[in-house]
Structure 1
Amino acid sequence: MSEVHAGLIDLASSSGIKPKAAHELMSREAGGRANLGYTDRDQQNYLRTRRQRKLMYGEAGCLLRYFQQQLNKNPSFHYAVQLDSEEQITNIFWAGARMLIDYANFGDVMTFDTTYGTNKALRPLGVFTGFNHHRGVVVFGAALLYDETAESFKWLFESFLDAHVDKKPKTIFTDQDPAMAKALNEVMPDTWHGLCTWHIMQNGIKHLGNLMKDGSSLLQVFKTCMFEYEDENEFEKSWEEMINKYVALDLSWLDGIYKLKKKWAKCYMKNTFTLGVRSTQLSESLNGDLKAYLKSDLDIVQFFEHFERVVEQKRQKELEAEFNARQKFPKLSLKNSPLLQQAVQMYTPAIFKIFQDQYDLASAAMIKNRRDDLLVHTYTVVLLNEDGEYIVSFDSVEKTISCSCRKFETVGILCCHALKVFDLLDIKTIPDIYILKRWRREAKSGYILENTTSVKEDVNLTVTQRYRRLCPKLVRLASRAVDTEETSALLERMIEEYEKKN
């Protein structure tokens, strides 16, 4: 078997293509099995030998060898391992160069979740994820854990901060794990810790399922308390009514979750920067993609190869979003609006759509009352056919605006109530302070790590990387050359001349 064939088999294996399918593809490309130069059995033997060679130093040796290879490809790759008293590896954390860059740009809000069944050792896989400026999922780091104790989580969070030069997120969402909460409180005491609403709802169904039969409204009332109320007094009143209605039953779970209300109830999160995130669905979305490729029978080497491939797919989606954003601008609902013209130039298409929806809602808003003091003007804003009033304050000296709905403070985008007041005051452009860089088209340009650590995203290509870069170009060239006898013969002569020289 030639080195080229071996390289193609390696490439197919690392891409998740099954050996039988890979052999069939290469046979057809070569014009038949007789022209391939090796048999299906040869391929199986090669893959078995390669796997045995990779594992000859045991799991720990293979793991360190893999990390060293990543460091050779890019010195900015970061990893950490924790050893037990017998010098055995227990917990593992790693973050690639692009993960470090993404966190530097978008690490203000993140989620962390663990999943099982992705590797042979059955270690829990933990992934740190967040939103980029296209509201796509980005990965900030990952870990294979020995267990899910407070000590393991504390080591993990410390390793995460070490990789990201001690930059802490403003907000993190996790499931309702007391060990995780204890570790977060010790390592990131100033980071706001929110609980995943999806996990809470699942736990609620588990503990209160017997109370949700025969037309019971308990679940709906609980969901309303979680997602709808913006006023704390309304929340407390509704919660008390719910408890009184079911007071004769065991409500110990509700009592426990009530004590954590500031971590999940909308009305208590109005001063928290969340980007609109309420759950760990970012992490779980990635976990779902991972489980499509990662299986419980993968050894440690195969696990890392396949994990990197899934992460690369997420990065490819970002590149596609970036390309589409540069190709054309979204359509304006009001093409002559200076404010929309500015927004479409500044925001990515995904964020502009959210902003334009708010701008559209502003057309249905009315000023119910206004009070003009010497410096601060206050407006009561209502929406047609909707309940609720919103108080908007505008500082005429500082030119700042705030709304009681707190949309800008939580999501980073101006609300329809503030935009209504802008229109009333003939303010035709958005002040720079209200266009966050993390939502801008150029969000990833000019990033600086706080301790001036240099992160190299692109380093000298290895032989394999050069091979992958040249292959598609040569395939396209061959596809064009075979159109005529002349071009085909010319390409063959060029290849023969190159082979003679090398």
Structure 2
Amino acid sequence: MDNNITSTSVDEINIGDNSTHVRSEERDEGVEPKVGMKFNSEEEVRTFYSKYATIQGFGIAKISVKGDDEGKPKYFSLACSRNGNYVSTANSGFNPRPSTKTGCKAKINVVVRSDGVFVISKVSINHNHGLSPSKSRHRKLDSAAKRILDINDQATIELSESSLVISASGHERVSNNEKDCRNSIAKVRNSRLGVGDAEAVCKFFKRMQQRNPNFYHVMDFDEEGRLRNLFWADARSRAAYESFLDVVSFDTTYMTNEYGMPLTPFVGVNHHGQSILFGCGLLSCKDIDTYIWLFRNWLECMSWQAPKVIVTDQCKSIQAAVREVFPNTQHCLCLKQIMRKIPENLRRFNEYKKIKRYLKSIVYESITINEFERRWAEMIDEFDLRQNEWLASLYNDRKQWVPLFMKETFGAGMLTTQHSKSMNLFFDGCVNSKTTLKQFVEQYDQALKRKVENESLADSSSFNSKIPLISHFGFEKQFQEVYTNDIFKQFQSEIRGMVYCNVSFVGSDGHVSTFQVSDVSKGEDGITKKVVYNVQYNEDQFEVLCLCRLFEFMGIICRHIIKVLVEKNVNEVPDQYILDRWKKDIKRTHTYVTNCYDDLGMKEQHVRQRCLYSQFSQISEMAVESAKMYEFVMKNLQLLHERMLSNDCCFDDANEGDCSDLPICSPLKVRSNGRPPMKRKESKVCMSKSNKGRKVVYENNHSLDGTDTAPH
């Protein structure tokens, strides 16, 4: 036997009493391993051998692991990291990859006794390569490094070289690679949310609902109990929808997770022009019934308030579902997604580049409907496109996606390509196609938190700072005072664009004057063109109407109207041209709503609102039981509301608690049914009558006004 190798049989280790526990000071000194050394855990063995390897100058790796029938370890080996032989996996033998393997035999074998003690049974200290303490690397993350990686992961900070440096406390001490860090993150994610995706999602949703009762979610299962569809919306999104329900975008093309379930977010635009979520779904398939299921649950979640405009993809199933669930909502098709499909539908034509350029010119540069119809017919004839079904379907749906036909539809910027990019970037950096279902739900919450923080920063910026004026016009000062900074910047861009405009008087008919404003713009072909717009100005009623319809489309008066206002020496515009939607001084409900991540540093208003929601929810549950009780509650709420609006109550802090003049009765007793009276009702499980075989779980059945919205 080699002098550098010593061994003892397993039986000798189990019954022998010559083995001793390794003292902590011996582990710190890095003493040479010997047969018979005992340890209390695998971690102690690794720490001892890692310290020894660091002093000697080699790395270590765990090999030859074997467990019993219950999965508990029976024995394992810790070997030199150069153990084993290199096997090439390169596609070409002329491009071999570097390898550290030299077939080194240095290692220690460890057996686990029946009493749980770890004992070294074999030691080999001879290496077949050079040793260097200054160049050895031990791939092990300590608790501090794991904590840093976990915090960064929850904050959606992408793993990079800086993460490795921080975890090692400096470049010179970097011993773990990116794979080690990613493995650690994956392990923490798994333990954070549980093992099973569906079960973990259920538990995660319940925790969020416990923190805010207005969190809403529905899970749809098939006959075998397998998760099929999923929808959820947090309390803040539900409250925000009340302020921004004028236009909603629904997109199914963003990404899919590892189960092939497409992500379907409901997205709107807030008062800063930022993307804001109104709920999100994960669907198992893209058929009409599934979309109807999702739309109806979303509509129920939003207290049955349908949006004024909904923007979707050009999908026949979605279009049919929208007609079924939103019959009174204007349905528009996403312009960006349509233009993105041009290559796959027209690339086979020999004159593809000309067709593409011509089509974009028709869509973006047509001024009147007659011009659009004429140029479209010319394109079809010139390039012989009569048999193209895709173009035929676009023409049939032209009123739903061509900007010219939607000029009088308010879209808050979502009907053009300018805003689509920011919507699609909502989840970037948080989730991808390989993200598991439980990881996605958690990262979704982090993405939402980031959006809320961005909105809060924009609110603070608009309140505490002003964008400097670029002109002496009084109406610019007027918009500066009331609009958020981001929207005011867009208005200022129209003032700058006025430099390229010239105005001429055409004529008048009574109080209505007509002007022609010529504008210079760059077309799709890069050529600068002159376009003339008619602007009508009613001096008596102070109404201005421009052919470009930017105000109707975006809510911001255009450069052509500004040019006419300057011509007529107008310093202020009436309130009808200042939309509440873009104002910065309006108190919006959703800014007071707490969410699952707002437990720390909660504002006093948030605490009050949570208490009010809880109390109103209990009252509403009792009031709906009988007509008399309902009338009693509504009568007193109406009286209380009128008193509050008329300032007939004393709300000064100095008189806080003195509510003797308020018409408030003692609270009604809550029927506990054997449970504590303050405990929230348990979730209901119902069978959906509209879809046979669908098992739907409603985890939150309270609408924003406190009424019960679950199907009966």
TM-score interval (norm. to shorter)? 0.7 to 0.9
1:51 to 182, 190, 196: 190
Q: Write out aligned runs for 1:11-90 (5 A).
A: 11-16=151-156, 25=166, 28=169, 48=187, 51=190, 54-56=193-195, 58-90=196-228
Aligned equivalents of 2:185, 2:349: Cα separation in 1: 60
1:403 paired with 2:546, answer yes
Amino acid at match of 1:174: T
Q: What amino acid sits opposite 2:307 in the alignment?
A: P
Deviation at 1:407, TM superposition (A): 1.7
Question: 1 CA distance for matches of 2:490 and 2:417?
Answer: 21
Q: TM-score, normalised by structure 1?
A: 0.78
Quick one: structure 1 residues 327 and 97, their matched pair in 2 at CA, closer, same or farther if it must change by over 3 Å? same
Whether 1:389 and 2:525 are equivalent positions in the alignment is: no
Separation of aligned partners in 2, 1:263 and 1:288: 24
1:247 to 373, 384, 393: 384
Looking at structure 2, the residues matched to 43 and 401 of structure 1 have their Cα atoms a distance apart, in angstroms, of 59
The 5-angstrom pairing of residues 279-428 of structure 1 reads: 279=416, 282=419, 285-288=422-425, 290-334=427-471, 336-362=472-498, 364-373=501-510, 376-383=511-518, 386-394=530-538, 396=540, 398-428=541-571
Q: 1:62/1:241 Cα in 2 relative to 1: closer, same or farther (>3 Å)?
A: same
Root-mean-square deviation (CA, aligned residues, Å) is: 3.7
Task: Pick closer, same or farther for the CA change 1:205–1:23 going to 2, 3 Å.
Answer: closer
CA drift of 1:270 comes to: 2.0
Bigger shift: 180-189 or 88-97? Answer: 88-97
SS in 2 for 1:290: coil
Q: Which residue of 1 aligns with 2:273?
A: 135
Matching residue of 1:183: 321
Alignment match of 1:97 (pick from 235, 246, 256) = 235
2:292–2:325 CA contact under 8 A, matched in 1: yes
Q: State the SS of the aligned residue for 1:217.
A: helix
SS in 2 for 1:114: coil
- Over 3 Å counting, the alpha-carbon distance change for 1:262 and 1:25 in structure 2 is same
2:370 to 233, 237, 241: 233
- Is the Cα contact below 8 Å between 1:116 and 1:122 reproduced in 2? no
Based on CA coordinates, which of the two structures has the bigger radius of gyration? 2
Distance change (3 Å), C-alpha of 1:185 and 1:44: closer
Change (3 A) 1:134 1:265: same
Matches of 1:47 and 1:267, distance apart in 2: 50
Q: Deviation string for 1:271-325 (max 9, x for gaps)?
A: 2112233357756644445343324443322221112222322333323333333
Give the aligned residue type for 1:180.
I
Deviation, structure 1 residue 357: 3.1
More helix by share: 1
- Secondary structure, in 3 states, of the residue corresponding to 1:402? strand
1:146 alignment counterpart:
284
| CA–CA separation in structure 1 for the residues paired with 2:202 and 2:474 | 56
The Cα offsets for residues 357-400 of structure 1, whole Å up to 9 and x where unpaired, read as 33445563423213142xx413122226633231414161x433
- SS of the aligned residue for 1:169 comes to coil
5 Å-filtered alignment, 1:192-203, equals 192-203=330-341
Give the partner amino acid of 2:190: R
TM-score by structure 2 length? 0.56
Deviations 1:177-235 (A, max 9, x none): 11111111111122222222222223222222133538x53222211221111211111
Q: What SS is found at the alignment partner of 2:218?
A: strand
Distance 1:106 1:225, change over 3 A: same
Q: Whose RCO is larger (CA < 8 A, sep 6+)?
A: 1
Q: 1:133–1:440: 8 Å Cα contact kept in structure 2?
A: yes
Name the stretch that deviates more: 84-93 or 415-424.
415-424
1:421-480: per-residue Cα shift (whole Å, max 9, x none)?
A: 43444432121111111111135x1449xxxxx983368965xx479xxxxxxxxxxxxx
Residue equivalent to 2:575: 432
Q: Structure 1 residues 383, 12: closer, same or farther in 2, change over 3 A?
A: closer
Task: Judge which range, 417-426 or 4-13, deviates more.
Answer: 4-13
Residue 430 of structure 2 corresponds to residue 268 of structure 1: no
Amino acid at match of 1:154: I
Judged with a 3 Å threshold, the aligned counterparts in structure 2 of structure 1 residues 350 and 281 are, in CA distance, closer, same or farther, namely closer
Identify unmatched segments of 5+ residues in structure 2: 1-42, 44-141, 521-529, 603-712
Counterpart Cα distance in 1 of 2:480 and 2:182: 53
- 295-304 or 186-195: bigger deviation: 295-304
The DSSP-based 3-state class of the residue aligned with 1:303 is helix
Give the Cα separation in 1 of the matches to 2:465 and 2:322: 43
Q: Which of the residues 238, 241, 258 maps onto 2:395?
A: 258
What is the aligned-residue identity percentage?
Answer: 27
How far residue 89 of structure 1 moved from its aligned partner, in angstroms, is: 2.5
Secondary structure at the aligned position of 2:427 is classed as helix
